[in-house]
Amino acid sequence: MTLWFVLAALLILGLVAYMARGGIGFGASSGVAVRQSIRDMVAAQREETTADDRRNFTYTTSSRSEDDPEGGQGGGSSDNRLTLQKRLKYGQLSHVPQFVFAVAQIVISVAAFLLARQYFYILLQLMALSIGPLIVNAYINHRVNARFKRFDRDFPQFLLSFVGMLKTGLNPMQALEACAVNLEDTSLVRQEVELMLERLRLGVSEERSIGSFGEDVNHAEIELFVQTLLLSRRVGGNLSETIDRLARQVRKRQYFRASAQAAVGLQRGSILFILGILFSLEVYLYFAWPECVIITWTDPTAAKVAQGGLTMIMVGMYWVLQVTKIKV
């Protein structure tokens, strides 16, 4: 049994190291990947010789309304379902094969089950099987949410600056470049704008370059921004007023999101406070009355009752965390 634990631990460490290497090393290899992506797009653009072929790659409102009547999630997605492939793209983990995450889930779950089998009864053993998917999904969701927060932090101010630049008489591309320069070098919005402008300089069509803006960020307002730019280039209109309304909407959603998270945070804080009290009481009883705690976990009948209570606490915590997940 010890050999199985050692092998499982080594396999888990190897998978985690591989995933971490991909997440950490992405920053170093992102430039190469971006340049290669741009070269591929330029080559595809030069091979398009007919108007029908160009329209197949155009980021239009009509095609989106046919494919996805309710709207997509993030820039460039016509399907509203957030599949594993999309989550990996939004979390900058597309370079990691999907089977790696499936294997990681299985290995972590099996290792947790073998560990629980040594010390706990059937309820906690069954719960241990779900640890693998929970850990892997939490890791992916963390990366997706981190990129969303990085983009959302600067996006409202970027839109307001864009409106001001348009009102000064600059054309949209010049205004975008001027707004991006005012952002920090680490700003995700600035990086997306610079990537879009680099595509334009390398010969990619304007529609495809604009349509690729923020395609790997799971932000709902990106699609509205992209469609607004494309429609203004085709049919004209007062772009500054439209972007100004979009900026106000983004501000309101950002404020409402922060208010909802603050309200939910109170509930989560209450749960953590109650758990802290329970743990403190357990520690106090161990020092004040050791037999009470020791017998609880050594006597077969008492251990079953204690583990049943622990199972209910864990299920309750998971349920509350799922209920308090608010998406605005």
Label residues 46-62 b or e (16+ Cβ within 10 Å = b).
eeeeeeeeeeeeebbee
Going by the DSSP 8-state scheme, the letter that residue 81 receives in this structure is S
- What distance in Å separates the CA atoms of residue 317 and residue 157, rounded to the nearest whole number? 37
Contact 214, 226 (CB under 8 A): yes
**Which pLDDT score, from 0 to 100, does residue 9 have?**
55
Contact 19, 139 (CB under 8 A): yes
Neighbours of 69 (CB within 10 A): 8
One digit per residue, the tens of pLDDT, for the chain of length 328 reads: 555 555 555 555 565 555 544 443 344 344 444 445 554 554 454 454 334 444 444 444 344 444 444 444 444 444 567 788 999 999 999 899 999 999 999 999 999 999 999 889 888 999 999 999 999 999 999 999 999 999 999 999 999 999 999 998 888 899 999 999 989 989 999 999 999 999 988 888 888 989 889 888 999 889 999 999 998 888 877 888 999 999 999 999 888 888 888 878 777 788 888 889 989 998 999 999 888 888 888 888 888 899 998 898 888 888 877 776 766 5
Helical pair 188-201 and 172-181, crossing angle rounded to 10 deg: 140
Distances, alpha carbon 249 to alpha carbons 155, 220, 233, 238, 270, in Å: 12, 11, 22, 17, 32
Question: pTM (2 decimals)?
Answer: 0.73
Burial of 25 (0-12, 13-18, 19+ CB in 10 A): exposed
Which are the contacts of 304, defined by CB distance < 8 A and separation ≥ 6? 121
Domain boundaries in the chain?
2-237, 251-328
**Which pLDDT score, from 0 to 100, does residue 58 have?**
44
**Which pLDDT score, from 0 to 100, does residue 53 have?**
41
**Which pLDDT score, from 0 to 100, does residue 78 have?**
43
**Which pLDDT score, from 0 to 100, does residue 318 have?**
85
Query: How many residues are listed for the chain in this entry?
Result: 328
- What distance in Å separates the CA atoms of residue 116 and residue 124, rounded to the nearest whole number? 7
